Structure 1
Amino acid sequence: MAIHYERDDEGIVTLTMDMSGSANVMNAEYQQAMGAAVTRLEAERDEIAGVVLTSAKKTFFAGGDLKLLIGITRENAAEALGFVEEVKGQLRRLELLGRPVVAAIGGSALGGGLEIALACHHRVVLDDDRIRLGLPEVTLGLLPGGGGVTRLVRLLGPQAALPLLMEGKQLRPARAVRAGFAHELASSREELIAKARAWIKDNPQPRQPWDVKGHTVPGMRFGDPGVYSTLSAAPAVLRKKTHGVFPAPEKILAAAVEGALVDFDTALKIEARYFLELATGQVAKNMIGTFWFQLNEIEAGGSRPSGVDRTAVTRVGVLGAGMMGSGIAEVSAKAGVEVVLKDVTLEAARRGAGDTPGITPTDSYADLAGCDLVVEAVFENRELKNEVLAAAESAALPGAVIASNTSTLPITGLANAVTDPSRFVGLHFFSPVPKMRLVEIIRGEKTSDETLARAFDYARRIGKTPIVVNDGRGFYTSRTFGTYVTEAVSMVAEGVPPALIENVARRAGMAVGPLAVSDEVTLTLQLEIRDQTLADDPDATGALGGHPAFAVLEELVAEGRTGRSGGGGFYEYPEGGEKFLWPGLARYAREDAGVTERDVEDRLLFIQSLETVRCLDEGVLTSVGDANVGSVLGFGFAPWSGGTAQFINSYGLGEFVQRADYLADTYGERFRPPASLRERAASGEHF
């Protein structure tokens, strides 16, 4: 049985969820098992003192079955609604049983798992920091459809519940107790069950707060003008954050507020209908596909070479104690890896190490002795990298993996600096390293499977999501993201208002406006990358030499506007104030620029997706999942779209090709779709 039913001599029934598979999920098996269990509880009610609901799995309950959810369409919506309402009805019957029901939570309870627990009268949680509780459905473009919105709002009130619902926060047990949706902690699994049983004996006839006559939703005092003013402002505040491209937070807000104004059962119906609206929409399908299925496949080792034993790095040497190097050292040390941080001077190395335990600052290559991995993170200068890589290799262990954090320089060329190119690999981190989740692993022409696997294992150990790409200038992320920034600067050169470019980019869902990003990476770096590309590949002169974007960058740099670190670039950075676009950009303004807002948005999104297709065609990318996950986690491509390749899928390949041809005819051949994309569109094949 998927739910084991056991009643003891004291009349306490223990329901143990133990579904087929590695985790308990909300699917047809669960629905049938819970339905049978609740029906039996109702039949035996007079002999029952109470119910303990627990799990035989490592987790309490993993949530909804996303294979089912991603398959919900408008055509089968009525059937899906019936399933949702049946699940909610079972939980409603459980909490109205007339007997105490306690959730004994010995593992993570996320999404549907927490919704089940919220339908219990009392929640005891094992005090284990590995356990998480929360309703993270919003991160997949959904809302909690099993009563989570309705119950959490009635339990905590809208102001406390909405941040948990709209941000998908996952709390450790102690924080969940402080937040008010878990009741008490247990120090062991034995105490977990003991506390659940004790509460049952002390509370023979409990009722949920919302079933007590006269209950009011906390913070929802009717007639209080403060309540109405806060709620009326909430949609505008939310729209400022989401720019209207994320429907889930908006539907959560609507379900929460509308549900708070009606009776409980009507609120459940409101919640179910908003859930179905999201589940049948494209955004949820984009996000589930990328942030669940593709992300899980990547983190499980989908791109890791097979047949290579897993390894654990024990001592890492990091070359360069600047922002990137110190970040790499910090995340490595915090993951329990011994770190040696080397810079030109001991003072610089100490500054980079800060107060993080486990980091040894040094100015001597000799201290790299014993390192089984060395990561170079010095300036983007080939000669400097060659020098430090060679010195590091001679000092580290004979079989050490030697890696470069370069964001653009081809790995195959840099591998010439070491005696054994098979042990050389690219490990491209993103800034700021402690916060950015992605690592782009670049395989050079001679990088061995063993080296690639060791790099992958290191990335997973330090908590990063690794994508694996083949060598090429800019690899995948820098190359593709570079088109975003360059396209924006090109529009400045054409006379498009800079504020329009930045606002449209954010409205489209990009994490940061392209001109703001340009300032962060510095305008000089973009010119240096251009110059290095031209030096290495004279054939690139036609594409880069007279590009209007670089003319703008050259003008600004000549005037000392090199970016944020230099005091100003496209933006001004007043001390103690918010940045603002530099008024001097007005020199580029043209009233007849003739670029519509839709064209601005499509130029920014299409140019990145088209470059992704080229990376797939050239073999730089070998996985659509790596493309999608890498684009969102690496350079903030609109998360609602599911990534650069999924953006094309959801747009429709035929429609995308047609629109790209228009952009190419209007703005340049860089928008012309590759032949491979036309073939996919013609055959009806998706990425």
Structure 2
Amino acid sequence: MQLKTLRYAIDDTPAGPVGTITFDEQGSPVNTMCAQWQDDLAAVTEQVVKDKERLKGLVLASAKTTFFAGADLKGVMRMQASDAPQVFAEIERVKRCFRTLETLGIPVVACINGSALGGGMETALVGHHRIAVDDPKLQLGLPELTLGLIPGATGITKFTRLLGLMGAQPYVMESKLFGPREALEIGIVHELVESDGDLRPRALAWIAGHPQAQHPWDAKDYKMPGGTPASPQVAGALVVAPAMLKAKTRGRYPAPEAALAAMVEGAQVDYDTATRIESRYLAGLMASPVAKNMINTFFFNLNAIKAGQSRPKDVPRYKPQKVGILGAGMMGAGIAYAQASRGIATVLKDVSAEKAEQGRAYSAKVTQPRVDKGRMSAADQQALLARITPTASAADLKGCELIIEAVFEQRELKAKVTQEAEPMLAHTPEFSGFFASNTSTLPISGLAEASARPQKFVGIHFFSPVDKMKLVEIIRGKQTDDETVARAYDYVLALGKLPIVVNDSRGFYTSRTFGTYVMEGAAMLGEGIPAAVIENAAVQAGLPVGPLAVLDETALSLSVHVIDQTRADVAAEGKTYTATPGELLVERMVKELGRNGRAAGGGFYDYPAGEKKRLWPELKALFEKPGAEWRVQDIQDRLLYRQSVETARCLAEGVLTSVHDANVGSIFGIGFPAWTGGAMQFIYGTGVEAFCKRADELAAAHGAEFALDTQAREAIARHQPRY
């Protein structure tokens, strides 16, 4: 039986006739639960039922390098809220097929030859016996919550019944992925084999030895591991779980709440009722805007970046071997660790050997907790440290393929270290080294003026702390060539991080847009809105930290330094820079009130020793106006819309060249709320017409910073994704 997404055949084996369903979606590198697959699954299930009397077993296999990829996410992107009833019916149809196959009274074996995630994992769970190839690269799990969905094709019900409510929690609620060995330990997989070729023989052997099979929950004596919600220990944990979840999601992410509800409700009823509960929750989520926002960015946009869509084409791939870093401070030390942890030989230079050694010590500090917990051996830690060569001599940089300067944000200093180190770059007929600046605000084209080869000069902007932040912004200067941008892209991927590519501009994309967020918060304080209201409204909107707290952490004095530098640069162009209300307030905090930020003892917040930080009491008297009118929704709109408007301007000006760079950059670089899908997806998720209308209202009420000109509106329309 040959269908478009699978085939079915019966073979004579020592155990007798055994049916094999092989998933093989034509024209696709992976198997998905597309509409055609749903039809084909129904057809093959009907045929298996007809063949039941002569079958001794059934094998589920894949013709792809992965077992099964899961749901058809492009189909989800096209759904509307009105589609929920139809979606529910489709989910239930798939589950009826699953249930029919696993209750035939014959053994069913899933042969997992490659990764099985989401719907793929749920498909594998149809098997009473699950065999996987013992390959550490093979990934299993239920990552649906990361896309705003839930494992609603039996994943929640089966994981809960296999592992118990508490045991299933990390895999369902935290989307924890795992390899074959862990799968074997927890009972999701029953057997491991060395290679693909061993899967079918082992499956047939198991079928021969188990002529009848059923899932544990179908046995009369089944008891849920750890107890049901009625057991005292589980009940005690469930009392606080919803409150803890709400505190974490702020009510912006419906999927975790739906997953918890489906787990608990399903644990109190029979299996079939539990799976219907799952279906109801999943259908609602699949038709929701949050799911579409998150799927757009965390699947399609992230895959676009990993596939190199922003990387210049026709440039050979580059694998970094030896990279130099100038400056062993917080950023330089962090970059050194990121490189050494990925096997890259690193030369870490500072003005003295002592400072360079202090920078290397950061890697020991970062890795020591892992050594203490047994997650890293002492030998591996020493090997990592040995890859970092601390030095005060520029001569030790000789032969580096790439040198990155990570010194203080001062043009003269950056020019000096560039000219000192650049001659040390590797230069052969086969390979010409390149130079990068880790600046966060200074235009790359200006910094490249100090370079003897500006075409080989690029911006590589890391975020702090480097060991935790995944985003890296690559900035193309006016003279930077394609080869250099492509190599910078490959270097960032080699670190296991996410590169976005932008064109040169003051503040580039991330710093420029991040500045609008914090300065809008400062502006609202200047209007008389209470600081606590601004901070709490921001967090409730899904932003990780309020704008005033962020200004403190990054240093108000640094913001003033950037403002002063901008004034000077604009003046050098013969123009006058007009500071925004937020910038003027920050300047007052620093220059009049002496509040420079957390590192200097205090800014918008006080930081008492041994206590939690608290808002500086003087803010109330200095800025708060009892008669000031405000609404939480307006505050949240100002903070979110201001960033999205600036992002649209960056797209219109060519600073950004793709929506995927904008969305990924805004979430991973500046903390734009994940539920929106990013700064551009926030526009598309809101609806272009509705967004523009609200932006016009905000511009009329709060200033031209919210205004969208014709160029920005055209860019929004031109880049709107189609699915």
Alignment TM-score, normalising by the size of structure 1: 0.94
Amino acid at match of 2:613: K
2:520 to 462, 465, 487: 487
Q: 1:576 to 1:209 in 2, by over 3 A?
A: farther
Q: Does 1:3 align with 2:7?
A: yes
Point out where structure 2 has 5 or more consecutive residues left out of the alignment: 365-383
1:642-657 mapped onto 2 (5 Å cutoff): 642-657=677-692
In structure 2, what is the equivalent of residue 372 of structure 1?
Answer: 401
Residue 693 of structure 2 corresponds to which residue in structure 1? 658
Deviation of 1:663 after TM superposition, in Å, equals 1.9
2:323–2:402 contact (8 Å) kept in structure 1: yes
Residue 550 (structure 1) shift = 3.5
Distance in 2 of aligned mates of 1:483 and 1:179: 48
Residue 557 of structure 2, aligned match among 521, 524, 541: 524
3-state SS of 2:96 partner: helix
Q: Give 2:357's match in structure 1, choosing from 328, 350, 356.
A: 350
| Residue matched to 2:615 | 581
Q: Is the 8 A contact 2:117 2:140 kept in 1?
A: yes
- Give 2:194's aligned residue: 187
Aligned 8 A contact 1:527 1:550 in 2: no
Residue 407 (structure 1) aligned with residue 440 (structure 2): yes
* Aligned residue number for residue 124 of structure 1: 131
Distance in 1 (CA, whole Å) between partners of 2:183 and 2:620 is 51
In the other structure, the counterpart of 2:376 is: none
Task: Return the alpha-carbon distance in structure 2 between the equivalents of residues 84 and 473 of structure 1.
Answer: 50
**Separation in structure 1 between the aligned mates of residue 214 and residue 402 of structure 2, nearest angstrom:** 59
Q: Is residue 208 from structure 1 mapped to residue 215 from structure 2 by the alignment?
A: yes
Counterpart in the other structure of 2:604: 570
Distance of aligned partners of 1:319 and 1:154 in 2 relative to their CA distance in 1, 3 Å threshold = same
Cα distance, 1:54–1:132 mapped onto 2, change above 3 Å: same
Measured in 2, the distance between the counterparts of 1:385 and 1:49 equals 74
Q: Please, which moves more after superposition, 573-582 or 109-118?
A: 573-582
Q: 1:91-150: CA deviations, max 9, x gaps?
A: 111211212222222211100111012222122222222111111111111112211111
Q: How does 1:443-462 map to 2 (within 5 A)?
A: 443-462=476-495
Measured in 1, the distance between the counterparts of 2:393 and 2:510 equals 33
Between the aligned partners of 1:650 and 1:65, the Cα distance in structure 2 is 20
SS at match of 2:111: strand
Question: 1:254-293 residue pairs with structure 2 within 5 A?
Answer: 254-293=261-300
Aligned AA (1:209): P
State whether structure 2 residue 659 is matched by structure 1 residue 624: yes
| Structure 2 partner of 1:25 | 32
Across the two proteins, how many residue pairs are aligned to each other? 685
User: 2: CA distance between counterparts of 1:3 and 1:561?
Assistant: 70
Structure 2 partner of 1:74: 81
Deviation at 1:44, TM superposition (A): 3.1
Match of 2:641 in 1: 606
Among 171, 174, 183, the residue aligned to 2:178: 171
Q: CA-atom RMSD, angstroms?
A: 2.3
Question: Given the alignment of the two structures, is residue 230 of structure 1 paired with residue 237 of structure 2, yes or no?
Answer: yes
* Contact 2:296 2:677 (8 Å CA) reproduced: yes
Decide whether aligned partners of structure 1 residues 224 and 312 sit closer, same or farther in structure 2, where only a CA change above 3 A counts: closer
* Deviations 1:272-294 (CA, angstroms, capped at 9, x unpaired): 12111111111111111222222
2 CA distance for matches of 1:90 and 1:279? Answer: 21
Shift of 1:537: 0.8
What secondary structure sits across from 1:171 in the alignment? coil
Q: Distance in 2 between matches of 1:656 and 1:9?
A: 63
Task: Give the superposition deviation at 1:246.
Answer: 0.8
2:466 corresponds to which residue? 433
**Percent identical across equivalent pairs?**
50
Rounded Cα–Cα distance in structure 2 between residues aligned with 1:506 and 1:197 = 55
**Structure 1 residues 200 and 434: alpha-carbon distance in aligned structure 2, compared to 1, 3 A threshold:** farther
Q: Which consecutive unaligned segments of at least 5 residues does structure 1 have?
A: none
Does the 8 Å CA contact 2:589/2:596 hold for their aligned counterparts?
no
Aligned partner of 1:35 in structure 2 is 42
- The offset of 1:216, in angstroms, is 3.8
Aligned residue for 1:102, secondary structure, equals strand
Give 1:224 deviation, angstroms: 3.4
- Indicate how the Cα distance of structure 1 residues 222 and 291 shifts in structure 2: closer, same or farther if over 3 A, else same: closer
1:639 matched to which residue of 2? Answer: 674
Structure 1 residue corresponding to 2:541, chosen from 498, 508, 511: 508
Q: 337-346 or 33-42: which moved more?
A: 33-42
**Matched letter for residue 414 of structure 1:** L
The one-letter amino acid paired with 2:56 is A
**In the TM superposition, what is the alpha-carbon distance from 1:481 to its structure 2 partner?**
0.6
Look up the equivalent residue of 1:660 and give its one-letter code: A
What's the TM-score, normalizing by structure 2? 0.90
Moved more, 317-326 or 199-208: 199-208
In structure 2, what is the Cα distance between the partners aligned to 1:237 and 1:458? 39
Contact 1:523–1:557 (Cα < 8 Å) also in 2: no
The change in CA–CA distance for 1:401 and 1:542 in structure 2 (over 3 A counts) is closer
2:275 and 2:356 map into 1 onto residues whose CA distance is 58
Cα pair distance change 1:150/1:674, threshold 3 Å: same
Task: State the distance in 1 between where 2:313 and 2:203 align.
Answer: 46
Q: Return closer, same or farther for 1:89/1:596 CA change in 2, 3 Å cut-off.
A: same
> In 2 relative to 1, CA 302–233 (structure 1 residues): closer, same or farther, beyond 3 Å?
same
Distance 1:178 1:549 in 2: 56
- Preserved CA contact (<8 Å) 1:657 1:677: no
Counterpart contact for 1:493–1:552, Cα < 8 Å: no
* Correspondence for 1:361: 390
* Higher mean C-alpha displacement, 272-281 vs 489-498: 489-498
Q: 1:637 to 1:353 in 2, by over 3 A?
A: same
Segment drifting more, 497-506 vs 534-543: 534-543
Change (3 A) 1:418 1:97: same
The answer to whether the 8 A contact 1:421-1:446 is kept is yes
Deviation at 1:554, TM superposition (A): 3.9
In the alignment, residue 450 of structure 2 is paired with which amino acid? A
CA distance in 2, matches of 1:471, 1:337: 28
Q: CA deviation at 1:576?
A: 4.4
Structure 1 residue aligned with 2:374: none
